[in-house]
Structure 1
Amino acid sequence: MPETLTRFDAGVLTLTFDRPSSRNAMTPAMYEAVHDACERADGDAAVRVLVLRGAGTDAFVSGTDIRWFTGFTGADDGVAYEAAVTRVLHRLEDVQVPTLAVVRGHCLGGGLALAAACDLRAATPSARFGVPIARTLGNCLSPSTHALLLHHFGPARCLDMLLNARLFTGEEAEAIGFVQRLAGEDELETEVDRLLDGLRTHAPLTMWAAKETQRRLRRQNVPDGTDIVARVYGSTDFRAGAEAFVHKTHPRWTDHPPR
């Protein structure tokens, strides 16, 4: 069964994450489908907007499928995974046409990163945004992904999200400017259509210049953090967290920061 669906209509290319029984948790093939959709959007002049959405109402994307992590054998796997995710997020940021994430339900971990890499977001009040890995997996974000969330949420909210495993509501996400259109379930598609009507007709070069300038400004000071990622993904806590998540138990954290 395909894990994503692609549709093109009236200038809008839509990629739908289609694993509702797993809350649209991302597999390697799904991340690659995002990259492919970006390539198509930039390679076809008929595409004016790229939209990402999740099937069903429970989740946009609930994160990366944890079964992927259980196959990791050490730090190198974690470094390679974060590099693969960064490649896709950068490609999504690089798309030359406007990009929009339509969010219902959970938008967590890798899902939050995908939504943050889009230019605009529309959501319902019941949407939940966060990266609760401090109480679930015990892994970390790459500096590039951390910088992306920092860009949108600011230092204090970003640390609140990561240290306290806090989830922001749709209303909170709108209040801080992360969500541009907030509407109830019955009204969300109407709001999305209004957004798309404008994006399809506004000056393409003007929109591209705004996107490109902001992308360059955001990325210019992102440091290398391979040592951070390797330290965390190579830890016993991460392995314990992944196993506990799969078996629906609570992990017992034993590792400590380097001294």
Structure 2
Amino acid sequence: MTYENILVAHGAISQITINRPEKLNALNRQTIQELHNAFKTAGQNPDVKVIIVTGSGEKAFVAGADIAEFASFSVEEGAKLAAHGQDILFDFVENLSTPVIAAVNGFALGGGLELAMACHFRIASDNAKMGLPEVSLGVIPGYGGTQRLPQLIGKGKAMELIMTAGMITAEEAKSCGLVNYVVPQQELLEFAQGIAQKIARNSPTAIGQAITAVNAGYKEGMDGFKAEIQAFGKCFDTEDFKEGTTAFLEKRKPDFKGN
């Protein structure tokens, strides 16, 4: 598949790079659709064990949404924009059974931070800065930011960041649990690859069930403990479970096939 605004490097550890450096990798509707297509394709490929998403250049992961695209929208158009984006990208990434790591290089603002938060966890370069500046434009985060940020860092700190429209540094993001690691920018992708390789050695089916169980605990109307029990039980009907337990008893490394 040919893309205009993203780059895709295929492999067991696939890399998706938002490639609009002249716009600081801002998300427009075309880029959101291309990202959906790339994530869907990778998620359906059993050979892909982990996905890393990052931004091109050294200045930005994603510096926000493309404001010119929606500046004249009506109420109905604005709501439709948010609903469609959440459906095809942000919620889609969060619920993908293939692990997604955000390698945050430079600015992650607005929709960029929302994309990073939709990923399963985040690694930041030491020059990264993050924030949700939407209220300074007379609007609020519309791609899940008001929900995921409090889940990750707590309600009080999230309220402060959203209402001040301020930015925090990579180290501040790490201290409040928004990112897992901060590394020098030139080491960011190598570091992300190292974690991805550790993940890739484990059972893809079990990881997918773990993602489902963890996410259930954050969804209204769902009982995370019941979801965990169901996901745990499903693992017993997989070849990966048979291989994992057999390899353990035979004192060898397992060879997981993802089924």
Question: What TM-score do you get using the length of structure 2 for normalisation?
Answer: 0.80
Q: Which residue of 1 aligns with 2:213?
A: 213
Matches within 5 A, 1:37-76: 37-72=38-73, 74-76=74-76
The 2-side partners of 1:145 and 1:161 are apart by 11
Residue 144 of structure 1: how far off its partner (Å): 4.3
Counterpart-to-counterpart distance in 2, 1:143 and 1:81: 9
Deviations 1:90-115 (A, max 9, x none): 11111111101111110011011100
The AA in structure 2 aligned to 1:39 is K
Amino acid paired to 1:61: V
Q: Tell me, which stretches of 5 or more residues in structure 1 are unaligned? A: 223-259
Does the 8 Å contact 2:86/2:143 carry over to 1?
A: no
Q: Distance in 1 between matches of 2:16 and 2:154?
A: 29
- Given that residues 13 and 52 in structure 2 are in contact (C-alpha distance below 8 angstroms), is that contact kept between their aligned partners in structure 1? yes
Q: Which residue of 2 aligns with 1:21?
A: 22
Q: For 1:8, which of 7, 10, 33 is the aligned residue?
A: 10
Deviations 1:6-26 (A, max 9, x none): 1103x0221111011110001
Matched, 1:166 2:172: no
Deviation of residue 53 (structure 1)? 0.6
Q: Is the contact between residue 86 and residue 145 of structure 1 (CA under 8 Å) also seen in structure 2?
A: no
User: C-alpha distance in 2, partners of 1:54/1:215?
Assistant: 25
* Number of aligned residue pairs: 219
Are the equivalent residues in 2 in contact too, given 1:34–1:92 (CA < 8 A)? no
Tell whether the 8 Å contact from 2:111 to 2:141 is kept in structure 1 after alignment.
no
Mark the structure with the bigger radius of gyration: 2
Tell me what 1:138 maps to.
138
Q: Which runs of 5+ in 2 are unaligned?
A: 223-259
1:175 and 2:185 equivalent?
Answer: no
Equivalent in the alignment of 1:129: 130
1:109-159, Cα deviation, whole Å (9 max, x unpaired): 101110000012111121011111222x11113484411121112101111
- Structure 2 vs 1, CA of residues 221 and 172 (structure 1 numbering), >3 Å: closer, same or farther? farther
Partner of 2:94: 93
Q: Shift of the alpha carbon at 1:221?
A: 5.5
Q: Describe the shift of the 1:221–1:169 C-alpha distance in structure 2 as closer, same or farther (beyond 3 A).
A: farther
TM-score by length of 1: 0.80
Sequence identity (%): 26
Structure 1 segment 189-204 matched on structure 2, within 5 A: 189-204=189-204
CA contact (8 A) 1:181 1:191 kept: no
Whichever residue aligns with residue 6 of structure 1, its letter is V
- Which amino acid is the alignment partner of residue 20 of structure 1? P
Q: Give the aligned CA root-mean-square deviation in angstroms.
A: 1.7
Q: Which runs of 4+ in 1 moved over 4 A?
A: none
User: 1 or 2 for the larger relative contact order (CA 8 Å, sep ≥6)?
Assistant: 1
